[in-house]
Amino acid sequence: MNKPLLTGAGVTLVALGVTPYFIGTSVHENVNAAVSEINQQAVYSAEVLSYDKGWFSTTAEIKLAVDFQALINAQNFDPADIPMEENPGVTATLVAHHGPVYFGDGLGLGRVHYTVSIDGDELREYVQWDGQQPIYRNEGVVGLFGGLNYADVIPALSATSEEEGFTLLFSGYTGEAEPDGDHTLYTSSGESLSISADEFSMEMKNLSMDLSYEGNLLAAVKGDVFESEVKALVESMKITGVSVGETVQMENIALITDTDVNEGTNTANIYVEYAIDNLVGPEFEATNMVLGVAINNLDIKFINAYQDFSNTSLLTPAEEVPAKMMEFIEANLLSQLKAEPELNITKLKATLPEGSFNAHANTKLVGINALPSTMEDVAYWVTHLLADAQITADKAFAQNMASGYMMSQLMATPQAQNMTPEELQAAVEQQTPMMLSTFAQQGLIKETEKGYETKLELKDGKASVNGTPIPLPFAPQ
C-alpha cells in the first residue's frame, strides 16, 4: 500500500471535513457585518433573533424593521396623521449549507449554498399572495472562488381597500444572477403591475431589468458608489384620470444608468438616460423622446460624506436641518468643487406632430480653490463656469413654439379681451414670421436648410449667442 498516497488522502479528507466549519464562521461574520451596517442607517434596524451554526450548515433568523416612529417625531408630523402602533418589520430566515461539497437542498460544489426567505406573515393583513410561498425568496451559491449565482422570486401579489377604493395587482417577479469576471450580471422580469384608486388608475406591462454591478449588498446598503450598469424597461404604461376620463399612453419606456469609477482620481461619472418611444395624451403626442444627463467628476469622498449627512438628517428636527446643511457644505463642498464637476445634457430630443428638436448642453466648474464669502454670489460662480449649448429645430417646430409664445404675449394685453379666437389666431400667424425674422437679424437664432439653430457659450464670465456677445447683469466687472 502506498503510504504517501494514504497520507495525502487522509489530509485531503481532513481538509474537506474542517473547511465547512471555517466557511460557516465566515457566514457568521458576514451576517454580523450586514446587521451592523443596517443598524448604522438612520431609519432601519436589524436584530438577530436566533443563530444556529453547525459543522455543515447554519440557520439564522433576522428581524428587519423601519423606524417610522423616530422619523415622524423628527419631521414634526402629527402621529394622528400616520397612526402606527409599532414600527413595521419582517423576519428573514437564512439557511446556509457550507461547502466545498454542500448537501441539504440538493448536492453540489461551492463555498456556500444558501436560501434567504421572508415569509411576510406580518404583511398578510395588507397584501395577499399564495399562502404556500414566502413573499420573497433568494437562493444561491457562492462559488469556490467567490463568484455568486442566485435566483430570487416575489410571487403574485394583490391588495384591496374598499374604504379607500384602492386595488393593486402584481403578477410577480423573477430574477437571476451570475458572475462575469469582477462583475455580477442580474436579469429580472415581471409581466404586469396595475394600481387603481378613486382618482386614477395605472397599468404597466412587461417590466424587465438588466443589471451589471461590481459592488455587493453591503455596499448598496451603505450607499457606496461602485461600477454598475442598469437598464430598466416597461413595454407599455397606461395612466387614466378616473374622474375626468383622460388617458395617457406610453410605449417602450427605458431608464438607463451607467456608473464608472476612476480609482486613480477617486472620482465617479454617472450617466442617466430616460427614453419613451411613443407618448399619447389628451392634448399631447410625441415620439422618440430622449433625455440623457451625465454628471462627471464626482468626488467619492464628498458623495460618502453626503450619504452620511443625508442618513443622519432623516432623524434631525426639521428646523435644525438648514444649519446642519451649511455646516456640511463648509466642511465638504470644496473638495468636490476642486474636482471640477460637470453637469451635461448629452441628449434632449423629441418628435412632435409639429416637427422635431434636438439639443445638448455642457456645464463645468473650473479653477475653484476656495469657497466664496457667500454661496449666493452669482458673479463668483459665473466666473468659474464653462458652458456651451446647441439647440436645433425643424422650421415647423420652431414656428409652432414661436406661435405659442406670441399667443401668450397677446393674451396678456388689454386688446386681446375684445378679440375673437379667430382674430387672435390671425394676429399670431401674421406676427410669428416677423418675430422669427427679428430674432435671426439680432443673431439670437440662425436659419439653416432644415430649420433653425442656436449656439450659446459662457466663458470667463462672458456669454454669447451664435457668436454675438450678450451682457449679463450679474457678470463680474
**Per residue in 206-227, pLDDT tens?**
999 999 988 776 677 677 788 9
Same domain? For 43 and 95 the reply is yes
- 21 pLDDT band, cuts 50/70/90, is very low
CA terminus-to-terminus distance, the chain: 96
How large is the average pLDDT for residues 338-355?
95
- 400 pLDDT band, cuts 50/70/90, is confident
Same domain? For 53 and 101 the reply is yes
Same domain? For 21 and 130 the reply is yes
Domain, as residue range, for 53: 1-155
Q: Is the pLDDT higher at 190 or at 36?
A: 190
Same domain? For 117 and 164 the reply is no
Q: Are 435 and 426 in contact (CB under 8 A)?
A: no
Name which of 19-33, 143-157, 225-239, 249-263 the model is least confident about.
19-33
Identify the pLDDT of residue 1: 46
Same domain? For 381 and 428 the reply is yes
Same domain? For 149 and 170 the reply is no
Identify the pLDDT of residue 234: 97
pLDDT higher than threshold 90 for residue 280 = yes
How large is the average pLDDT for residues 247-257?
96
Q: Is residue 344 part of a domain?
A: no
Cβ neighbours of residue 208 under 8 Å, at least 6 residues apart? 187, 188, 189, 190, 232, 233
Report d(CA 477, CA 474) in Å as an integer: 9
Tens of pLDDT, residues 57-104: 889 898 888 776 666 665 555 555 555 556 678 888 988 887 666 655
Residue where a domain stops, chosen among 113, 138, 155: 155
Same domain? For 383 and 283 the reply is no
Strands 101-102 and 108-109: antiparallel
User: Does residue 476 sit in helix, strand or coil?
Assistant: coil
pLDDT higher than threshold 70 for residue 18 = no
Cβ neighbours of residue 215 under 8 Å, at least 6 residues apart? 224, 226, 227, 228
Identify the pLDDT of residue 19: 42
* Mean of per-residue pLDDT scores for the chain: 84
Identify the pLDDT of residue 405: 86
Q: Output phi, psi for 424, to 5 deg.
A: -60, -45
Measured CA to CA in angstroms, residue 408 lies from 404, 430, 442, 448 at distances of 6, 15, 22, 27
Same domain? For 192 and 78 the reply is no
Identify the pLDDT of residue 12: 38
Total domains in the fold of the chain: 3
Same domain? For 86 and 170 the reply is no
